[in-house]
C-alpha cells in the first residue's frame, strides 16, 4: 500500500471528500479562466494550459517562439482574467538593473532617500526579449524570481502576490543577444514553446483580429474575472492535490534519469524535481482532479526540464533537440508499478 502526501489524509472507504476545499468550484473557475484566455489567444490551447499550470504553481514561464505568435497577447489576456496588475519591460542592451528593480533617490525637499519601485512590483511581469539585455541586468531578476522580493538600499521589499514573470525570447535571432545563465534558467518553472497555429485556428484568429474583437475584449473586464484573492486561493489548492508516493517516485526517477544519460551535457537538478511535482499537481488541478496521476508528471516533464538540460555536442551535431532527447529518456523510465 502506498502512502499519500496530502495534508488532509482521506480515508479509503469514502467515495468523495467530505471536508476540505471545494474542488468542484475551483475546477469550474479554472475551466472558465481557460476558456476566456483561449477565446483571446486562438489556437494555442497547449500553451495556455501550460501557462496556467505555471500560474497555479506560482512559477515563472519562459516563452520561446518566433515573433508574431501572440506572446504579449497571451500575457495581457492572462492579466485581464484576474484583476491584477500587468507590467512590461522591453529588455534592451542598455537596460540597467535599477531600471528593472527600482532604486533609492534622494528627495531634496524632505532631505531623505525615497525608494522608487521598479516595474517588477506587479502581479504579472512580461520581460520581453529577455536575452537582449546583458547578464548584469538579467541577474537583477534572480532575487525577485526566487524570493519574490527586491532589496533596495538594504531594504527587502516584497512584490505583490501573486507574482509571475513571463519572459520571452526569440529562437532565431542570435545576433546581439546574451544567452540566459543557467541559474536564471533554473528559476523558470516551465519553458513553453509557441508554434504556428493550425489552419483552422489561424482562420479563426485572422477573422477575430481583423474585426477588432480581440482588442475590444482586452479593453473591457471579462465576464467571470477572478479577484486576486480567488487566484491566491486557487494557488493554495495546488499543494493540497493528493500525490501518491509512486507518483512522487516516478517524478524523481524521471529527473534523475537525465543525470545518467550520456546524451546530455548538463542534467536537471533537484529544483527540477520540485518544479515537476508542483507542475504535476497544478496540471491535475487544471484537469479537475484532486489527485495527481503519473500522466500529469509525464505531461509536465518536458516543459519543466527542456531548459534545465544541455545537449552533448554529438547530439547537437546529430540535430537532436532537448525535447527529442528528453522524450527518449522518458520512454526509458518505467511508469509507476503498484
Partner 1 sequence: MDLNRLAVRARLRSPWESIDLGVALARRQWWPLFVVWLLPAALVFGATSVWLWDSPSLAIFLVWWLKPVYDRLPLFIASRTLFGESVSVAGALRQFPRQNLRDWFAWLTWRRLSPTRAFDMPVTLLEQSSGAARSARINVLHRKHASAATWLTVTGAHVEMFLSLALMALIYLFIPEQVEIDWLPFLASGELWLQWALNGLYLLVMAAVAPFYIVSGFALYIGRRIELEAWDIEIQFRNLRQRHQRTEKQSARTVVAQLLLLCVLGLATMAPSGSVRAEAPRTPEAARESVDQILSGDDFHRREKVDGWRLKDTEKQEDEFPEWMINFIEWLESLGQDDDREDEPSSYGSLGPLIGGLIELLLWGGAIALVLYLLWQFRDPLRQGLRLRRRPKAPPKAAPETLFGLDVRRSSLPADVCAEVLRLWRAGDQRGGLGLLYRATLSHLIERYQFEFGDHLTESECAQLVSLRQQPADGGADEDMRPVSGTLATFVQNLTAAWQQIAYAHRAPASARLEQLCGQWQEVFADAH
- Kindly give, in sequence order, each residue whose CB lies less than 8 Å from that of residue 238, ignoring residues fewer than 6 positions away: 56, 57, 58, 278, 281, 282, 285
Q: Which is nearer to partner 1, 185 or 333 (CB)?
A: 333
In the complex, minimum distance from the CB of residue 44 to partner 1, in angstroms, rounded to a whole number: 23
In the complex, minimum distance from the CB of residue 330 to partner 1, in angstroms, rounded to a whole number: 7
In the complex, minimum distance from the CB of residue 324 to partner 1, in angstroms, rounded to a whole number: 15
Q: Which is nearer to partner 1, 1 or 317 (CB)?
A: 1
In the complex, minimum distance from the CB of residue 227 to partner 1, in angstroms, rounded to a whole number: 30
Q: Which is nearer to partner 1, 242 or 272 (CB)?
A: 242
In the complex, minimum distance from the CB of residue 278 to partner 1, in angstroms, rounded to a whole number: 17
Q: Kindly report each contact of residues 322-326 with a partner whose C-beta sits within 8 Å and lies 24 or more positions away, as own/partner.
A: 323/193, 325/261, 325/263, 325/264, 326/258, 326/301, 326/302
Q: Which is nearer to partner 1, 140 or 279 (CB)?
A: 279
Q: How far apart are CA 170 and CA 66, in angstroms?
A: 6
- Kindly give, in sequence order, each residue whose CB lies less than 8 Å from that of residue 199, ignoring residues fewer than 6 positions away: none
In the complex, minimum distance from the CB of residue 87 to partner 1, in angstroms, rounded to a whole number: 39
Q: How far apart are CA 214 and CA 220, in angstroms?
A: 10
For 88, the grid coordinates are 512590461
Binding site for partner 1 (CB under 8 A): 1-2, 4, 10, 12-16, 242, 244, 246-247, 289-295, 298, 330-338
137 SS3 class: helix
Asked if 99 and 150 count as a contact pair (C-beta separation under 8 A), the reply is no
For 20, the grid coordinates are 476540505
Q: Which is nearer to partner 1, 216 or 337 (CB)?
A: 337
Q: How far apart are CA 228 and CA 84, in angstroms?
A: 6
Nearest CA to 248 among 282, 288, 293? 293
Q: Which is nearer to partner 1, 142 or 333 (CB)?
A: 333
Amino acid at each position: 500500500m502506498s502512502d499519500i502526501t496530502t495534508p488532509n489524509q482521506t480515508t479509503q472507504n469514502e467515495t468523495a471528500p467530505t471536508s476540505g476545499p471545494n474542488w468542484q468550484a475551483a475546477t469550474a473557475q479554472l475551466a472558465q479562466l481557460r476558456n476566456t484566455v483561449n477565446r483571446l489567444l486562438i489556437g494555442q490551447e497547449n500553451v495556455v494550459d501550460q501557462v496556467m499550470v505555471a500560474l497555479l504553481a506560482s512559477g515563472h514561464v519562459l516563452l520561446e517562439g518566433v515573433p508574431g505568435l501572440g506572446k504579449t497577447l497571451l500575457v495581457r489576456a492572462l492579466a485581464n482574467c484576474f484583476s491584477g496588475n500587468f507590467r512590461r519591460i522591453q529588455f534592451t542592451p542598455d537596460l540597467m538593473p535599477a531600471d528593472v528593480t527600482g532604486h533609492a533617490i534622494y528627495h531634496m525637499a524632505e532631505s531623505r532617500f525615497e525608494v522608487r519601485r521598479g516595474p517588477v512590483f506587479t502581479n504579472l511581469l512580461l520581460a520581453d526579449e529577455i536575452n537582449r539585455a546583458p547578464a548584469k541586468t538579467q541577474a537583477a531578476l534572480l532575487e525577485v524570481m526566487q524570493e519574490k522580493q527586491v532589496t533596495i538600499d538594504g531594504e527587502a521589499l516584497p512584490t505583490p502576490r501573486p507574482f509571475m514573470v513571463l519572459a520571452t525570447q526569440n529562437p532565431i535571432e542570435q545576433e546581439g543577444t546574451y544567452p540566459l545563465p543557467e541559474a536564471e534558467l533554473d528559476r523558470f518553472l516551465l519553458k513553453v514553446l509557441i508554434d504556428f497555429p493550425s489552419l483552422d485556428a489561424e482562420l479563426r484568429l485572422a477573422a477575430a483580429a481583423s474585426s477588432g474583437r480581440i482588442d475590444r475584449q482586452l479593453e473591457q473586464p471579462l465576464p467571470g474575472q477572478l479577484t486576486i484573492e480567488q487566484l491566491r486561493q486557487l494557488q493554495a489548492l495546488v499543494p493540497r492535490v493528493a500525490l501518491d508516493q509512486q507518483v512522487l517516485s516516478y517524478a524523481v526517477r524521471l529527473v534523475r534519469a537525465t543525470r545518467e544519460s550520456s546524451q546530455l551535457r548538463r542534467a536537471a537538478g533537484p529544483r527540477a524535481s520540485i518544479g515537476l511535482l508542483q507542475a504535476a499537481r497544478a496540471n491535475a488541478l487544471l484537469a479537475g482532479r484532486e489527485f495527481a496521476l503519473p500522466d500529469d508528471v509525464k505531461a509536465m516533464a518536458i516543459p519543466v526540464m527542456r531548459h534545465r538540460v544541455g545537449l552533448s555536442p554529438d547530439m547537437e551535431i546529430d540535430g537532436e533537440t532537448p525535447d527529442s532527447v528528453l522524450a527518449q529518456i522518458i520512454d526509458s523510465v518505467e511508469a509507476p508499478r503498484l
